[in-house]
Copies of this chain bind each other. A is one copy, B any other.
Amino acid sequence: MKYCSECGEKVRISVPEGDNRPRYICSSCQFIHYQNPKMVVGCLVEHEEKVLLCKRAIEPRYGLWTLPAGFMENDETTMQAAQRETQEEAGADVEIVQLFTMFSLPHIDQVYMLYRARFKEFAFSAGSESLEVDLFDEADIPWDEMAFPVISESLRRFFADKKSGKYKIHNGAMLKKSEMKPGQQTTSFSVTVLDDD
């Protein structure tokens, strides 16, 4: 952000009175431009032991696999956003079963929410943002060609819950290595999770 979206003059970065964080503030009209995390919402669609994956036709991670998901829009609910993204990217009309994962990704200012879902009618096809859409058994999932760690983590938890016979709601955070405290595990992401019982 370089200019004020209210008056068009230059913004500066400083801590407003009574606040404790630097914000973009207009040098002319003094408008404070807050910036907040975005929600990425999608579906984990299950059908006969398989899940629906999309091969990305867009950057970032062109050609890699993911779940149908995208930025939540204004004027919709989280569930509507999950259904819309699944329709747009995977051509699938689904009903929501239950919230499955909600992971904060503070290094990119996003919160990922994935819902378990099932087909209302069995049909899917690649939308404009997907090269290919298909159903995969756990054993056939292209684990080495997944686009995002948060999606791989969600899929691993899905198949683990499936085996255990009980789907939890997993709420946590994926932190980059550089954000971890000493003694935390040394994979590229650390996952802290508060599972419901």
Give me the interface of A with B, judged by CB distance under 8 Å. 1-11, 18, 21, 33-39, 71-80, 96, 98-99, 102, 104, 106, 109, 111, 128, 169, 171-173, 194, 196
Q: Chain B residues near A75 (CB, 8 Å)? A: 106, 109
A171 to B97, CA, bound (A): 11
Q: Chain B residues near A169 (CB, 8 Å)? A: 99, 169, 196
> Copies per complex?
2
Whole-angstrom distance between the Cβ of A149 and the nearest chain B Cβ: 15
A102 to B128, CA, bound (A): 31
A182 to B169, CA, bound (A): 32
- Cβ contact within 8 Å between A196 and B72: no
A35 to B34, CA, bound (A): 13
- Cβ contact within 8 Å between A111 and B3: no
Q: A2-B8, A98-B194 are in contact. Are A74 and B173 (CB under 8 A)?
A: no
Q: Which of B8, B71, B78 contacts A111 (CB 8 A)?
A: B78
Other than the known A2-B8, A79-B104, what 9 A-B pairs have Cβ atoms closer than 8 Å?
Answer: A1-B6, A2-B7, A3-B4, A3-B8, A34-B71, A37-B39, A74-B106, A78-B102, A78-B104
Whole-angstrom distance between the Cβ of A101 and the nearest chain B Cβ: 11
Closest partner residue, chain B, to A194 (CB atom): B98
Q: Chain B residues near A6 (CB, 8 Å)? A: 1-3
Q: Chain B residues near A128 (CB, 8 Å)? A: 18
- Cβ contact within 8 Å between A79 and B173: yes
